[in-house]
Amino acid sequence: MFNEQLKLHIIVFVWGFTAILGVLIELDSFQLVFYRTLIAAISMGIFMKFKGWDLKVNWKEAFKLLFTGGLVASHWILFFASAKISKVSVCLAGIATTALFTSLLEPLLTKSSIKPYEVVLGLFVIVGLYIIFQFEFDHALGLSLSLCAAFVGSLFSVLNGNYVKTISSPKITLYEMIGGCITAFICLPFLSDSPTLLAVPSTLDIIYLLILAVICTTIAYAVCVEIQKSLSAFQVNLTVNLEPIYGIILALLFFGEEETMTPGFYVGAGIILLSVLSYPFLKQNYNRRSSNRKKLHEEVIQN
């Protein structure tokens, strides 16, 4: 169990590195996402073939997955654009709200009820964001882009939560990477800032892209799926919520003074991160109490 938890922390640590790679890669966010999804789709396809897994889906499933892949591409484009025009720490502070956006979107899309603790945590997040905007107004655009990325990320997370009930996770990833690649390529002529439609990456950018697409996407995904067979969903979700913290620490180590923010930023980011980290605990406690009330109600009816 310790080894599985260690692997999970390493994966989350690797995911926290993605924003730094986005800054280091000289391509704009549209070209970056195109190459990332292209390499990830190819490597995932090779991985699935090597494992002997079925790659086929019906046309309805393919359409849904390709569309959702477009949302994934949009999420990454906004994410990397935020990191490039602002700072990694600002980008990750915004991305930390993904779980809470999900908690609000999921009831709307699945017609379930909103939990009281989710509303309270949402209010804390708003307070944290207000503090950050007050002290880091110069980075308002970067934070706004990362919040949009968090919203889109929460949307495709909810959709994937429904897809995984009938489609295997590897197929979801493969087809969404293909959809993301197509979306990024379509956007290139209209939205990319590059003077050329598809710039050829430098040798260093190719290395960074391979790390981003193969290690941070395909390999990390494959290991995470394997780990979920041993660890509970609670343990996985709690650890994944540490990604922004790892990312901010890595950004300080890599970029030093460039990533140093005002005390107000760290207060606001701290409130957001504490809200996100407390979410799994509150959800587990709420579910346990709801289950106990249901059992008690059934016993009363039986008696």
Kindly give the residue spans of alpha helices, DSSP state H, lying in the chain.
2-16, 18-24, 29-51, 59-85, 88-95, 98-110, 116-135, 140-163, 169-191, 203-210, 220-227, 233-240, 243-255, 263-302
- Residue 72 pLDDT level (bands cut at 50, 70, 90): very high
Q: What is the pLDDT of residue 1?
A: 67
State the Cα–Cα distance between residues 134 and 7, nearest whole angstrom.
38
Q: Give yes or no for a contact between 187 and 33, defined as CB atoms under 8 angstroms apart.
A: no
Contacts of 132 (CB under 8 A, 6+ apart): 90, 93, 143, 264, 265, 268, 269
Going 84 to 160 to 212 to 253, the CA torsion angle's sign is: positive
SS3 219: helix
State the Cα–Cα distance between residues 107 and 122, nearest whole angstrom.
14
Residue-wise pLDDT for 102-135, tens only, equals 777 878 777 777 778 877 888 888 888 888 888 8
- The residue type found at 170 is P
The residue written with tokens 């990390």 in the block is 220
- Residue 66 pLDDT level (bands cut at 50, 70, 90): very high
Residue-wise pLDDT for 151-164, tens only, equals 998 898 888 878 88
Summarize the confidence of residues 271-292 as an average pLDDT. Answer: 81
Task: Please give the structure tokens belonging to residue 78.
Answer: 């906004």
Give Cα 56 to chain centroid, integer Å: 26
The residue written with tokens 């922390």 in the block is 9
Contacts of 296 (CB under 8 A, 6+ apart): none
Q: What is the DSSP letter of 217?
A: I
Q: Give yes or no for a contact between 136 and 143, defined as CB atoms under 8 angstroms apart.
A: yes
Q: What is the pLDDT of residue 299?
A: 66
C-alpha radius of gyration, the chain, whole number? 20
3-state secondary structure 106-174: HHHHHCCCCCHHHHHHHHHHHHHHHHHHHHCHHHHHHHHHHHHHHHHHHHHHHHHHHHCCCCCHHHHHH
Summarize the confidence of residues 53-64 as an average pLDDT. Answer: 91
Mean pLDDT taken over the chain? 86
Summarize the confidence of residues 3-9 as an average pLDDT. Answer: 83
pTM of the prediction? 0.86
CA-to-CA separations, 122 to 127, 274, 295, in angstroms, rounded: 9, 12, 30
Contacts of 278 (CB under 8 A, 6+ apart): 121
- The residue type found at 109 is L
- Domain spans in the chain, listed from the N-terminal domain onward: 2-302
pLDDT beyond 80 at 272: yes
CA-to-CA separations, 185 to 63, 76, 192, 203, 284, in angstroms, rounded: 17, 14, 10, 21, 41
Residue-wise pLDDT for 43-54, tens only, equals 999 988 988 988
- CA angle 102–103–104, rounded 5-degree value: 90
